[in-house]
Amino acid sequence: MSRRHISAALAALALAVAPVLLPAPAASAAPAASCSSYPNWVAGKSYRAGDIVRYTDGKAYIAEHDNPGYDPVISTWYWDPYNCDGGGGNTPVGNFVVSEAQFNQMFPNRNSFYSYSGLVNALGAYPGFANTGSDTVKKQEAAAFLANVNHETGGLVYVVEQNTANYPTYCDWSQSYGCPAGQAAYYGRGPIQLSWNFNYKAAGDALGIDLLHNPNLVQNDSAVAWKTGLWYWNTQSGPGSMTPHNAMVNQAGFGQTIRSINGSLECDGRNPAQVQSRVDAYQRFAQILGVSPGGNLYC
């Protein structure tokens, strides 16, 4: 497994299986005849669990938890699609280039926490992901993202960091907001192994989810976990010079995604075995999706 740190500071990350607490069942109510019968969602307005709103896409959502007006499409821990107008309550985000059968082929031994539906539900947070450029580029980006999270999680097996001795080290007390969930609360979680209080703060702010106070959401809610991985992929360059998303969309090559995720510990000959592991997975996933992996695979 790689040992890496998601942001400027680099720290050892070991991964392992830990009990995963699944979220409570979604709140439900009797189906309504028309989505238009519900009030429009208003950003910043307080909602109570059980409230039903009509979103800007015309679909209805029901609050699973009290929240201060988080976006129903982005903050899926707080909101759930609600069946109205005879529909199924789903919120399409376009045709994801990886089918569920291909996803299962890529990850035959995955932890059930890392569900395909959780990934698809997370795509709305970053609609440009695997949805920019030609079909080939879209599939290459999807393969690249999944290859890197494959490496970080042992094939989507590990949800949290293994080495509990590391847990207290991921609190940067120099940050004004401190570590309100506790000094040992910000260990690696999820597909990209989000760690450090400042990364939980930044990811949560971007996603409209209070991860600084509720870091366990990343190990309790599949869609939230996937969103943190997509947050890093689409917005952070880490030790690299570009985001992994831009590396693939602009044809800089898979090697640049490795550099942006863990380049300081793996690239430029530092750990060629780890790089090769990522490249092997990428080539395998690209083949499953029926595309060439392109050039510049190494860093």
**Paired tokens of 140:** 């290459």
Report how far residue 219's alpha carbon sits from residue 159's, in angstroms, rounded to the nearest whole number.
6
| Contact (CB, 8 A) for 215 and 198 | no
| DSSP 3-state of 243 | coil
Helices 135-153 and 222-235, interaxial angle, to 10°?
A: 120
Token pair listed for 224: 């939230």
Q: Which of 234, 271, 237, 270 is nearest to 256 (CA)?
A: 237
Distance CA 128, CA 141 (A): 11
User: Residues 64, 100, 141, 152: which is the catalytic one?
Assistant: 152
Of the candidates 135, 140, 125, 136, the residue with the CA atom closest to the CA atom of residue 229: 125
Of 243, 244, 292, nearest in space to 144 by CA = 244
DSSP state of 30: P
Is 100 annotated as catalytic?
no
Structure-block tokens of residue 287: 């083949």
* Contact (CB, 8 A) for 224 and 209: yes
Catalytic site residues?
152
